[in-house]
Amino acid sequence: MRTQVAIIGGGPAGLLLGQLLLKQGIETVVLERRSREYVLARIRAGVLETGLTELAAEAGVAARMQAEGLVHDGTLLAYDDRSFRVDFETLTDKTVLVYGQTELTKDLYDARDAAGGTTFFNCEDVTLHDIETEHPSVTFTHDGQSKTILCDVIAGCDGFHGPSRQAIPENKRREYEKTYPFGWLGILSRTPPVDEELIYANSSRGFALCSMRGTELSRYYIQCPLSDSPDDWEDARFWDELKRRLPEEAADHLVTGPSIDKSIAPLRSFVCEPMQYGRLFLCGDAAHIVPPTGAKGLNTAAGDVSYLYRALMQFYSDGDTHGLETYSQIALQRVWKTQRFSWWMTNLLHRFPEQSEFDLRMQRAELAYLETSEAARRNLAVSYVGLPY
């Protein structure tokens, strides 16, 4: 089989790239390790930057998100039983859209089917070949049969655990990593959100986040020890702990109910440099991971997709390889700025085991400064709503 761009990974990054390219008549094949049902069952964050919603519109998949998504023009930060608002619209003239990433992934799969895009699910032994040449290929096993895809370019959109990043020779790549000494215990409940906006809370008992997937579906997180498992947290214990970490007024308004999903995720900051090697280009989690505190996972991937999509359009329209040659350099500029914001938000809002009393006072002073300084809130808002591509 031959195609122009072989996309490894049928998550949001791979699908968004595939849809953008298909609309430009550039042939793609998506290779996904899991089933479609498995991919669509993953619970993921749901705060979309304007850049991502505009890219989704360019890909022709924004109709449902615009109809069902919730426009948020601010967020609340809480500490010491106080809370204050960061007004995105006043500070940046921008807003964000709250719309489940699982929904966006579903919209992308539906659009790919409608456009006649080729997707192989349940692919095994996906292996990249000849990526240093102008004729790379991908081999894989599908339905027990060995298959080969000849292509011009491979887009590695296969997440942190995929084969693409590993295809870059170890002596040609440099990896930067920071792990955090806690996890996020998250639950989904069919209850109305505690507030119309998200609440990020720094409490003496640890971080808490109140988010949502709509007006009748709430998503809550609390910082927890990495040694915990979801079974340690029956619903009543979770709700009690969440209430203890929220300002009293929010705790009093919290509507509790049975959890329909409960999981613990570790937090990690990670960047691989470069994000390309020969005709292999990494996008999204294949190249970088952020702690979820700033809701930047998919939003950073969207920046990568935008750069690679436009570089490929140049390449196929007039053979101009400049965009492809500079992809990693350009993408990493935005990746590192987003890494900084996610790292800063994580340090601002979480309790760390080794924090001294002075460290705690610095954290509180940073929050008090945000509460009292418009300039400080604008600095947070500019990154939260999304840096330009």
Q: Does residue 104 bind ligand APR (CB under 6 A)?
A: no
Site for ligand APR in 30-49 (CB under 6 A): 31-34, 39, 44-45
How many residues appear in the chain? 389
Among ligand APR, ligand PHB, none, partner that 123 touches (CB below 5 to 8 angstroms by kind): ligand APR
List b or e across 224-245, with b for residues whose CB sees 16 or more CB atoms inside 10 angstroms.
Answer: beeeeebeebeeeebbebbbeb
Q: Which amino acid is at 193?
A: P
- Closer by beta carbon to ligand APR, 157 or else 188: 157
Annotated catalytic residue, options 296, 307, 309, 389: 296
- Nearest CA-CA partner of 347 in 358, 336, 335, 363: 363
Among ligand APR, ligand PHB, none, partner that 211 touches (CB below 5 to 8 angstroms by kind): ligand PHB
**Cross-sheet strand order for the sheet of 218-224:** 82-87, 74-79, 199-203, 206-212, 218-224, 174-189, 259-273, 288-289
296 is catalytic: yes
Q: Does residue 8 bind ligand APR (CB under 6 A)?
A: yes
Q: Does residue 194 bind ligand PHB (CB under 6 A)?
A: no
Q: Does residue 163 bind ligand APR (CB under 6 A)?
A: yes
Q: Does residue 219 bind ligand PHB (CB under 6 A)?
A: yes
Q: How far is the CB of 142 from ligand APR (least distance, A)?
A: 11
Structure tokens at 22: 């298909």
Residues 6+ apart with CB under 8 A from 371: 77, 82, 84
Q: How far is the CB of 348 from ligand APR (least distance, A)?
A: 20
| Region for 229 from its dihedrals, namely left if φ exceeds 0, alpha if ψ lies in -120 to 50, beta otherwise | beta
Q: Which amino acid is at 137?
A: S
Does a cis peptide bond (omega within 30 degrees of 0) precede residue 274?
Answer: yes
Contact 157, 331 (CB under 8 A): no
Q: Does residue 293 bind ligand PHB (CB under 6 A)?
A: yes
Distance CA 316, CA 54 (A): 23
Contact 117, 64 (CB under 8 A): no
316 is catalytic: no
Q: Does residue 45 bind ligand PHB (CB under 6 A)?
A: yes
Q: Does residue 46 bind ligand PHB (CB under 6 A)?
A: yes
Q: Does residue 17 bind ligand APR (CB under 6 A)?
A: no
Please choose, out of 50-58, 233-241, 296-304, 306-314, the segment that lies near ligand APR by the rule CB under 6 A: 296-304
Q: Indicate which residues carry an active-site annotation.
A: 72, 200, 292, 296, 384
Residues lying near ligand PHB in the complex (CB under 6 A) are found at 45-47, 198, 209, 211, 219, 292-295
Residues lying near ligand APR in the complex (CB under 6 A) are found at 8-14, 31-34, 39, 44-45, 101, 123, 126, 157-159, 161-163, 284-285, 297-298, 301
